[in-house]
């Protein structure tokens, strides 16, 4: 088969065009529709590849930045996600207000969900690939290192890293330098 024929066959293949509709549908339910139901503060920037679930339970403060490929998934019924002002979320961060319980003898997909609020204070920076689990509060001024998994509350002004995330230091005032 010649290259010209292969090219022509790929251009006229209807499956390619059907896939475009699937991508548009995905973008609509994972970004456009939930974003319309969110409360977003003035000056907040959201990358076009951020995935949201249950936008009516997500609140973003003013002047936040939500990086590419981030996921903010609020619970289906009650789990909320709230961000303060000036929060920076790096690419590929995952924040969820819902997780599964583990009941012996039940298949994974039949496990009951547990929804708990996630609260992230103002002036917080979450590094690339951070995971924040349901029920966690991150205090004002925290910095969470890349790849950390936050499973417990972090106190105001702390610097945390690791899996699970642990406090490894604290932010200092300028006069402390």
Tens of pLDDT, residue by residue over 62-111, are 999 999 999 999 999 999 999 999 999 999 999 999 998 888 888 888 88
Let me know if residue 42 belongs to a domain.
yes
**Count of domains observed in the chain:** 1
Let me know if residue 142 belongs to a domain.
yes
Percentage of the chain modeled with pLDDT above 90? 67
Q: Is 117 helix (H, G, I), strand (E, B) or coil?
A: coil
Q: Is the pLDDT of residue 172 over 90?
A: no
Q: Are 111 and 74 in contact (CB under 8 A)?
A: no
The model's pTM is 0.86
**pLDDT value, residue 160:** 98
Let me know if residue 50 belongs to a domain.
yes
**pLDDT value, residue 1:** 64
Tens of pLDDT, residue by residue over 53-68, are 999 999 999 999 999 9
Question: What does DSSP assign to residue 154?
Answer: B
Let me know if residue 22 belongs to a domain.
no
Let me know if residue 30 belongs to a domain.
no
CATH (domain of 147): 2.160.10.10
For residue 129, the enclosing domain spans: 38-170
Let me know if residue 16 belongs to a domain.
no
Let me know if residue 134 belongs to a domain.
yes
């Amino acid at each position: 088969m010649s290259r010209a024929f292969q090219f022509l066959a790929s251009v006229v293949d209807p499956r390619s065009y059907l896939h475009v509709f699937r991508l548009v549908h995905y973008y609509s339910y994972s970004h456009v529709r939930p974003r319309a139901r969110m409360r977003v503060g003035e000056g907040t920037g959201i990358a076009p590849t951020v995935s949201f679930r249950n936008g009516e339970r997500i609140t973003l403060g003013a002047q936040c930045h939500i990086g590419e490929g981030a996921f903010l998934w609020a619970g289906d019924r009650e789990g909320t996600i709230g961000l303060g002002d000036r929060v920076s979320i790096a690419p590929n961060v995952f924040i969820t207000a819902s997780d599964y319980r583990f009941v012996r003898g039940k298949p994974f997909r039949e496990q009951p969900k547990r929804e708990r609020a996630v609260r992230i204070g103002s002036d917080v920076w979450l590094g690339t690939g951070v995971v924040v689990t349901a029920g966690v509060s991150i205090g004002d001024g925290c910095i969470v290192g890349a790849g950390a998994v936050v499973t417990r509350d972090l106190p105001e002004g702390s610097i945390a890293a690791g899996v699970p995330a642990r406090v490894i230091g604290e932010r200092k005032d300028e006069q402390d330098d």
